[in-house]
A and B are shown apart, each in its own frame.
Chain A
């Protein structure tokens, strides 16, 4: 397995308050890394550090073996290789669905409009929304918006994907469709780092689980073991509290 992403001794604080402390882990190509932990444990902050949306005070991130020099310019260039999907979808309300998806490919990657639109249509088809190109985000349901947001990230053909609690603000009946898309991506060997509270889903797709508590990685355990045999008491408590 080739290493895609390696984080070494990452530290982040808001002012005096440490949020992430001495975070180290590796993600291999094609692997699904699920990040679990109680609210406020730093999960979202961690994955926001991985595409430079949050600055960190110390530590190093390696991407494809290369050390990332965390300047705004470098992050901007790297972000087209890192897809990110957020909890609140965050489609651009001023653009229709097609333009939402093709903005990055056309303006950032300088693809031709025809190429970008063809690829957008193909991806939209895979999530069952090919008829929605001319609609605006406000005309869509939460689940549809989130599927579009995933397509928007995929349209850049990223090397890996970050998912930040993408089902947390969806109605229960919308959750399944989104999770199915993510499970399909995992099947196609997309490298993913997933923050989620959907335990069944996590168990189903996780190659490895990072369990975070209070800014520390308490354990890093293969997915098949974490849910049945967690190493730490804190993780056991957490799984119990999640009714798992």
Chain B
């Protein structure tokens, strides 16, 4: 076992470095999911309003983030923001911004879908007791739609987490990037290193995403 690639993981600072990279990944994903989720609920509510112009603009926003591949979005924001808007953000923050806007766009569609599938009767009976529009959404429609949006939302969250593996393309030192550095630096000594490093990364991603699908199952049963 002296030459087994698994030793690579435990050699020197390799494991702490991988976990450090993982933390960057988690931080980008977590901020994007929370901020994007809140923004998404807000936009989703707006998209159920009757105002056509508003709906058209929000639709455009959604389609832009849905159609343009995430890689392209990352490059677009990473290279174009500094040039055309003189906004020099560190790579990790650009990534957080892109993922937040993406999360918000996709979440808004899920929220809208869930809101309009709450029966019209609930709207009527909420209005009948005198609720105004924001009270109707806050006390009646949003709570009832949360359950309906759960499966799609959990799916979106795991997609967001998994897609953070693209962060290395704009040189964020995420878990994948760190892993590649470790593999390359030790290629001579550990020719099989890639297998073990990616294996560990696989397990790490699994450990993050799996609880979400468990949570989704549990919440749906309740």
With contacts A51-B128, A86-B124, A86-B125 taken as known, whether A93 is within 8 angstroms of B144 at the C-beta atoms is yes
Residues of chain B with a CB closer than 8 A to A80's CB: 129-130
Interface segment, A101-109, A192-200, A208-216? Answer: A101-109
CB 8 Å contact bits of A71-111 with B (1 = contact, 0 = none):
00000110110111010101111110000000110011100
CB 8 Å contact bits of B120-143 with A (1 = contact, 0 = none):
011011111111100100011001
Q: Which of A76, A88, A103 contacts B139, CB < 8 Å?
A: A103
Q: Please, how many residues of chain B have a CB less than 8 angstroms from a CB on the other chain?
A: 16
Given A86-B121, A94-B140, 8 more pairs with CB closer than 8 A: A48-B124, A77-B130, A90-B125, A94-B143, A94-B144, A104-B131, A108-B131, A156-B129
A43 within 8 A of B: no
**Alpha-carbon distance A81/B221, docked complex (angstroms):** 39
A153 within 8 A of B: yes
Most chain A CB inside 10 Å of its own CB: which residue of B132, B143, B144: B132
Whether B129 pairs with A88 at a CB distance below 8 angstroms is no
Q: Which of A77, A84, A107, A109 contacts B128, CB < 8 Å?
A: A84
Closest beta carbon of chain A to B133's beta carbon, Å: 8
Which residues of A (2-57) have their CB < 8 Å from a CB of B? 48, 51, 53
**Alpha-carbon distance A82/B122, docked complex (angstroms):** 17
Residues of chain A with a CB closer than 8 A to B121's CB: 86, 88, 90
A152 within 8 A of B: yes
**Alpha-carbon distance A107/B126, docked complex (angstroms):** 12
With contacts A94-B144, A107-B135 taken as known, whether A153 is within 8 angstroms of B124 at the C-beta atoms is no
Q: Which of B124, B132, B139 contacts A90, CB < 8 Å?
A: B124
Whether B140 pairs with A79 at a CB distance below 8 angstroms is no
**Alpha-carbon distance A90/B123, docked complex (angstroms):** 9
Which residues of B (106-156) have their CB < 8 Å from a CB of A? 121-122, 124-132, 135, 139-140, 143-144
Query: Who on chain B is nearest to A88 by CB?
Result: B121
Closest beta carbon of chain B to A193's beta carbon, Å: 14
Whether A53 pairs with B127 at a CB distance below 8 angstroms is yes
Most chain A CB inside 10 Å of its own CB: which residue of B124, B135, B139: B124
Residues of chain B with a CB closer than 8 A to A79's CB: 127-130
Whether A92 pairs with B140 at a CB distance below 8 angstroms is yes
Residues of chain A with a CB closer than 8 A to B143's CB: 94
Residues of chain B with a CB closer than 8 A to A153's CB: 128-129
Whether B130 pairs with A108 at a CB distance below 8 angstroms is yes
Closest beta carbon of chain B to A110's beta carbon, Å: 11
Query: Who on chain B is nearest to A162 by CB?
Result: B128
